[in-house]
């Protein structure tokens, strides 16, 4: 058994390999082995940063570092610092800073804030149950009132399902990130409100802004996207596309051209999300919003989101649409899953408000007539121009000519507002976060029309604004 | 160890079955139960990717009846639930019309028991309702600042012991709209691993750099702070503008309390700012219910931003931020919520004012103090008894949030259903709110729970624990005998 000595066991296979393996193979292996040996014996280089500073130097750096103050100081006369204090409810006659005025500043379009029937229902509800709900959604907080409100809203809007949020701002800001994720594309109007902007920021998708209400610009962007897609069809098949628009824009008071949007939707295969905070309960024959106004099939819109804080004079918001779309938010809408639900009291108030809306469909006509009246009356004020559609209940009055800087414009408008407040009409300037808005609208005075205002009051407001503009601006 | 393996096996089996059923559904062998896309839009890019919904369809659907149970009474210590059955394995539910009465409620965040038909709270709320109505219809900076809001803010500032406070309409939104106002690009946020979704969203929306430190681990936090100051911003090496540490008072999924003295020491040493989210701890900790700062005996001036919600202990809705006057002035001007979102509803404000006065003792009774003490007693009793029985409980001894570990996916559904059969309502949590192998049942104690209710609940939990083999703990506490405390009475035995 000498033939099985270890050296022979080793030598034989090696000999075989040398004989049968091709030459380049051997050379390659040889190079590899030499390189490994080199790596093993070479010095390792540490990354620069770690070995540079001694502990003493680190201590010094920590000593020296001075952070900025947590918040910069706010000048005492900053326009947004001193709020108007409203004593009592913000109804038709409102007491602002101690003075009684007619309210032209709260979004109480249908006058339901002060409605006796709503209050009676709420008090009855309070006696039956208590103010609060108290739980974080998922566990013991869907009370029967919520279910009823969701059903009623779905039935009113003629969609399959609706979902309730406890805060109006959070509604659209949670709905958008639930569907649109990183890598998806969203086409949004420049004048979109801040809540939409925050929703888009949270979704981390690609945002493409198109000029306000400019369908040609939108089509151009969609065409560009189409050519991009053709370069990379595999990616295009999984990138979702959305258009986000508002029914009645808060910042400019005009409507979006929905019929053209629907055509673009089917042509370029994009989904539409509609934000109807101002147009719900205002537009359309029965107050169903812009889809009723234009006579469009509601199933053509993928998601309608609105808040209940304007026409319904309650708190919270809702999204409605087909079950396929809405049900997804129950598990992935952040403002729904991680937050407490709407207090049942406010849900009951919303249901009663809905009842009133359904029973009196002629209030929408009345509201529209008043809007048109004030729109007419406010034309021709020297120095101020009216921005908004004639049937929009939330108008803006902007300076015809700016005086150079935004600050001065704001001061000038403040004087106009103060003049009106001193004479009994409560108005407010439209507030924005100047540094955070994507497309900051020019400073303006907000004029809100409600059903409760009588014709004399409308006339009074218009004449007062003319006077104010005369005295302040000229 | 064995439990971990079995849990993974459980999930593996469920996943396999999930794939099998998806396959069957695709080939139309099994009927597809969920809603589908419109015919006209079939050629659009699909809205949901198949895999996202895999968990939803296959795992969540099986035990969906444990969640979203509708109730029809006030969620106080006892609650009435609407009975519902499912004939097609939880795809749809039908209500039988019957009501299950008097379920002991161990799932609602009702720490001080204010969620009930209390006398004074209700009368005050009714009065305010008839005067003010439900909504406000305007933002805080425009026409929505009512005198009631100013009253509330002064009261909150007094309650917390800070200079000034500001109230917002929604707890979640308080975080997600104010953190971006405080920090921005060029700032650093150090956030705890297990922070709530609202803090994470606020941090992301702010645009600052976020670094995560291990849960309640002070060495990890210190290391991050040192590295941050010494090395500055990544790539440019410029010094950071500000460093903000985000922590919570009580973490709702773990039941642990933050190590506040150590965090404050670190914060002072490294000159950073502290943002404390007391959503669960306000009202629940501390000898007079003032929160985690009082619990540790510290001064509220050490915490730069004290944030909390009115949802849990006050039986209302909304959130607040308290701090120095400059901070609150700044937030009044620049907070997103003040400019764009509606303010709190007046009856809710009234509820908060009444319950806060009650806790502070300003309404002339001792009810508030009694409730805070009752809650502390309930907490300690409940936790001790569960430990004695042999369950694994997470969290600090004094925290009223008690997570009981279940681990296996099948036990999640079983636990929920068994407890409901015995008239106890509990909350079970699984993936994605917790790590995948650490699913748990979470009990929330309340001052409204009497000792009898707790004893009943404990008895039932014991039974179910035996039935489902949930007593994983290998440390057994020998029950305390009614004798004066003696070192030899109490020993930990290894099984």
Question: Is B117 in CB contact (< 8 Å) with chain A?
Answer: yes
Contact (CB<8Å) B173/A335: yes
Average pLDDT over residues A159-172: 91
Contacts of A312 in chain B (CB under 8 A): 135
Q: What is the pLDDT of residue B494?
A: 40
Nearest CA in chain A to B325: A73
β-strand pairing of B401-407 with B439-444: antiparallel
Residue with tokens 């202990």: B313
Q: What is the pLDDT of residue A47?
A: 55
Q: What is the pLDDT of residue B263?
A: 93
Q: Which pair of tokens denotes residue A81?
A: 């610092």
Contact (CB<8Å) B60/A331: yes
Contacts of B129 in chain A (CB under 8 A): 119, 122-123, 126, 345
β-strand pairing of A99-103 with A161-165: unpaired
3-state secondary structure chain A: CHHHCHHHHHHHHHHHHHHHCCHHHHHHHHHHHHHHHHHHHCCCCCCHHHHHCCHHHHHHHHHHCCCCCCCCCCCCCCCCCCCCCEECCCCCEEEECCEEEEECCCCCCCCHHHCHHHHHHHHHHHHHCCCCCCCECCCCCEEHHHHHHHHHHHHHHCCCEEEEECCHHHHHHHHHHHHCCCCCEEEEECCCCHHHHHHHHHHCCEEEEECCCCHHHHHHHHHHHHHHHHHCHHHHHHCCEEEEEECECCCCCCECCHHHHHHHHHHHCCEEEEECCCCCCCCCCCCCCHHHHHCCCHHHCCEEEEECCCCCCCCCEEEEECHHHHCCHHHHCHHHHCCECCCHHHHHHHHHHHHHHHHCCHHHHHHHHHHHHHHHHCCCCCCEEEECCCCCCEEEEEECCCCCCHHHHHHHHHHHHHHHHHCCEECEECCCCCCCCCCCCCCEEEEECCCCCCHHHHHHHHHHHHHHHHHHHC
Contacts of A123 in chain B (CB under 8 A): 126, 129-130
Question: Is A107 in CB contact (< 8 Å) with chain B?
Answer: yes
The C-alpha of A409 sits at a distance from chain B's nearest C-alpha, in angstroms, of 17
Angle between helix A455-473 and A362-377 (nearest 10): 30
Which residues fall within 8 angstroms of residue A338, CB to CB, at 6 or more apart? Answer: A136, A137, B172, B196, B197, B198
Q: What is the pLDDT of residue B264?
A: 93
Residue with tokens 């209030």: A363
**Contact present, B267 and B274 (Cβ < 8 Å):** yes
Q: What is the pLDDT of residue A87?
A: 87
pLDDT in tens, A284-313: 889 899 999 999 999 889 999 998 988 888
> How many residues in total does chain B contain?
495
Question: Is B456 in CB contact (< 8 Å) with chain A?
Answer: no
Question: Is the overall model pTM greater than 0.95, yes or no?
Answer: no
Q: Which pair of tokens denotes residue B76?
A: 């106080």
Q: Which A residues 300-359 touch B at CB under 8 Å? A: 307-310, 312-315, 322-325, 327-328, 330-331, 334-335, 337-340, 342-343, 345-346, 349
Question: Is A71 in CB contact (< 8 Å) with chain B?
Answer: yes
pLDDT in tens, A202-238: 999 999 999 999 999 999 999 999 998 899 888 888 8
Contact (CB<8Å) A53/B150: no
d(CA A165, CA A315): 9
The C-alpha of B468 sits at a distance from chain A's nearest C-alpha, in angstroms, of 22
Nearest to B271 among A65, A86, A335 (CB): A65
Contacts of A243 in chain B (CB under 8 A): none
Gyration radius from chain A CA atoms: 32
Nearest to B341 among A143, A167, A343 (CB): A167
The C-alpha of A341 sits at a distance from chain B's nearest C-alpha, in angstroms, of 9
C-alpha dist (Å) from residue B199 to A338, A349, B248, B258: 11, 31, 9, 15
Task: Name the average pLDDT for chain B.
Answer: 83
The C-alpha of A331 sits at a distance from chain B's nearest C-alpha, in angstroms, of 9
Q: What is the pLDDT of residue B120?
A: 67
Lowest mean pLDDT among A352-356, B47-51, B218-222: B47-51
Q: What is the pLDDT of residue B495?
A: 37
Q: What is the pLDDT of residue A205?
A: 92
Contacts of B271 in chain A (CB under 8 A): 65-67
The C-alpha of A446 sits at a distance from chain B's nearest C-alpha, in angstroms, of 9
Whether residue A7 has pLDDT greater than 70? no
Average pLDDT over residues A247-267: 91
Contact (CB<8Å) A62/B49: no
Contact (CB<8Å) A143/B79: no
Whether residue B215 has pLDDT greater than 70? yes
Closest CA to A56 of B230, B271, B241, B234: B230
Question: Is A35 in CB contact (< 8 Å) with chain B?
Answer: no
Average pLDDT over residues A80-104: 86
Nearest CA in chain A to B351: A131
Average pLDDT over residues B176-188: 91
Whether residue B139 has pLDDT greater than 90? no
Lowest mean pLDDT among A33-42, A118-127, A275-284: A118-127
Question: Is B228 in CB contact (< 8 Å) with chain A?
Answer: no
ipTM above 0.90 for this complex: no
pLDDT in tens, B92-123: 777 777 777 788 888 878 888 776 655 667 77
* Share above pLDDT 90 across residues of chain A, in percent, rounded to a whole number: 33
Which residues fall within 8 angstroms of residue A148, CB to CB, at 6 or more apart? Answer: A347, A351
State the Cα angle at A196 between A194 and A201, rounded to 5°.
95
Question: Is A147 in CB contact (< 8 Å) with chain B?
Answer: yes
Question: Is B44 in CB contact (< 8 Å) with chain A?
Answer: yes
d(CA B325, CA B338): 16
Whether residue B246 has pLDDT greater than 60? yes
Contacts of B304 in chain A (CB under 8 A): 70
């Amino acid at each position: 058994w000498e033939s099985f000595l270890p050296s022979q066991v080793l030598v034989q296979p090696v000999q075989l390999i040398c004989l049968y393996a091709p030459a380049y193979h051997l050379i390659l292996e040889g190079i590899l082995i030499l390189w490994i040996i080199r790596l093993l014996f070479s010095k390792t280089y540490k990354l620069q940063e770690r070995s540079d500073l001694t502990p003493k130097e680190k201590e010094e750096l920590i000593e020296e570092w001075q952070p900025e103050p947590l918040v910069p100081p706010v000048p005492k006369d900053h326009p947004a610092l001193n709020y108007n204090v409203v004593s009592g409810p913000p109804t038709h006659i409102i007491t602002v800073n101690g003075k009684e005025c007619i309210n032209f500043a709260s979004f109480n379009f249908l006058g339901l804030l002060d409605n006796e029937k709503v209050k009676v229902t709420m008090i009855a509800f309070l006696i039956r149950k208590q103010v609060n709900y108290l739980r974080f959604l998922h566990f013991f907080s869907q009370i029967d009132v919520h279910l009823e409100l969701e059903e009623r809203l779905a039935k009113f809007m003629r969609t399959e399902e609706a979902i309730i949020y406890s805060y109006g701002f959070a509604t659209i800001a949670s709905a958008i990130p639930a569907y649109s994720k990183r890598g998806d594309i969203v086409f949004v109007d420049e004048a979109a409100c801040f809540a939409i902007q925050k929703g888009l920021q949270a979704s981390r998708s690609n945002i493409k802004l198109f000029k306000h209400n400019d369908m040609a610009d939108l089509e151009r962007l969609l065409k560009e996207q189409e050519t991009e897609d053709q370069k990379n069809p595999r990616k295009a098949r999984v990138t979702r596309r959305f258009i986000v628009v508002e029914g009645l824009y808060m910042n400019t008071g005009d409507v979006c051209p929905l019929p053209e949007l629907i055509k673009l939707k089917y042509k370029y295969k994009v989904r539409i999300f509609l934000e109807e905070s101002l147009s719900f309960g205002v537009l359309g024959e029965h107050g169903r919003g812009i889809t009723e106004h234009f006579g469009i099939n509601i199933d053509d819109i993928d998601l309608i989101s609105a808040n209940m804080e304007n026409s319904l004079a309650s708190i919270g918001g809702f999204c409605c649409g087909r079950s396929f779309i809405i049900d997804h938010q129950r598990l992935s809408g952040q403002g729904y899953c991680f937050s407490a639900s709407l207090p049942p009291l406010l849900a009951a108030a919303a249901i009663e408000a809905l009842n009133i809306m359904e029973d009196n469909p002629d209030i929408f006509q009345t509201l529209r007539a008043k809007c048109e009246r004030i729109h007419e009356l406010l034309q021709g004020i020297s120095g101020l121009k009216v921005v908004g559609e004639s049937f929009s209940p939330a108008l803006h009055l902007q300076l015809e000519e700016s005086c150079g800087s935004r600050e001065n414009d704001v001061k000038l408008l403040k004087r106009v507002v103060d003049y009106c407040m001193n004479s009994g009409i409560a108005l407010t300037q439209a507030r924005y976060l100047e540094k955070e808005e994507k497309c900051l609208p020019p400073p303006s005075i907000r004029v809100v029309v409600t059903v409760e205002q009588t014709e004399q009051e409308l006339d009074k407001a218009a004449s007062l604004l003319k006077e104010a503009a005369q005295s302040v601006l000229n | 160890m064995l439990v971990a393996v079995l849990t993974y096996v459980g999930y593996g089996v469920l996943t396999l079955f999930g794939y099998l059923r998806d396959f069957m559904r695709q080939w139309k062998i099994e009927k597809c139960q969920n809603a589908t896309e419109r015919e006209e839009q079939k050629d659009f890019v699909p809205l949901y990717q198949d895999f996202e919904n895999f968990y939803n369809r296959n795992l969540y659907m099986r035990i969906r009846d444990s969640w979203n149970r509708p109730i029809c009474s006030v969620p106080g210590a006892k609650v009435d639930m609407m009975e519902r059955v499912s004939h097609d394995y939880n795809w749809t539910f039908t209500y039988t019309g019957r009501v299950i009465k008097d379920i002991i409620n161990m799932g609602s965040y009702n720490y001080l028991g204010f969620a009930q038909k209390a006398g004074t709270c209700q009368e005050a709320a009714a009065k305010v309702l008839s005067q003010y109505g439900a909504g406000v219809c305007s933002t805080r900076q425009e026409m929505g600042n009512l005198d009631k809001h100013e009253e509330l803010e002064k009261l909150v500032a007094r309650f917390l012991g800070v200079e000034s406070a500001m109230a917002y309409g929604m707890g979640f939104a308080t975080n997600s709209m104010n953190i971006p106002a405080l920090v921005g690009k060029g700032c650093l946020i150090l956030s705890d691993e297990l922070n709530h979704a609202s803090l994470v969203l606020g941090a992301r929306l702010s645009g600052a750099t976020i670094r995560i430190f291990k849960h309640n681990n002070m060495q990890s936090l210190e290391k991050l702070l040192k590295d941050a100051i010494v090395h500055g911003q990544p790539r440019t090496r410029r010094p950071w503008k500000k460093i903000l540490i985000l922590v919570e008072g009580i973490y709702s999924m773990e039941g642990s309390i933050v190590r506040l003295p150590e965090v404050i020491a670190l914060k002072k040493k490294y000159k950073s700012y502290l943002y404390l989210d007391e959503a669960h701890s306000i009202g629940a900790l501390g000898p007079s219910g003032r929160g985690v700062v009082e619990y540790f005996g510290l001064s509220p001036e050490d915490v730069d931003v004290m944030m909390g919600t009115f949802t849990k202990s006050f039986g209302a809705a909304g959130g607040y931020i308290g701090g120095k006057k400059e901070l609150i002035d700044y937030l009044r001007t620049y907070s997103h919520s003040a400019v764009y979102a509606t303010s709190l509803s007046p009856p809710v404000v009234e509820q908060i004012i009444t319950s806060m006065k009650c806790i502070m003792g300003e309404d002339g009774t001792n009810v508030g103090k009694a409730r805070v003490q009752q809650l502390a007693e309930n907490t300690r009793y409940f936790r001790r008894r569960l430990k004695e029985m042999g369950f694994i409980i997470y969290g600090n001894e004094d925290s009223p949030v008690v997570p009981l570990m279940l681990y296996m996916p099948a036990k999640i559904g079983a636990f929920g259903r068994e407890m409901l059969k015995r008239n106890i309502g509990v909350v079970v949590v699984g993936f994605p709110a917790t790590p995948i192998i650490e699913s748990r049942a979470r009990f929330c104690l309340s001052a409204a729970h009497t000792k009898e209710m707790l004893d009943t609940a404990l008895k039932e939990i014991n039974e179910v624990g035996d039935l489902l083999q949930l007593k994983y703990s290998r440390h057994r506490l020998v029950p305390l005998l009614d004798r004066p405390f003696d070192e030899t009475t109490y020993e930990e035995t290894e099984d």
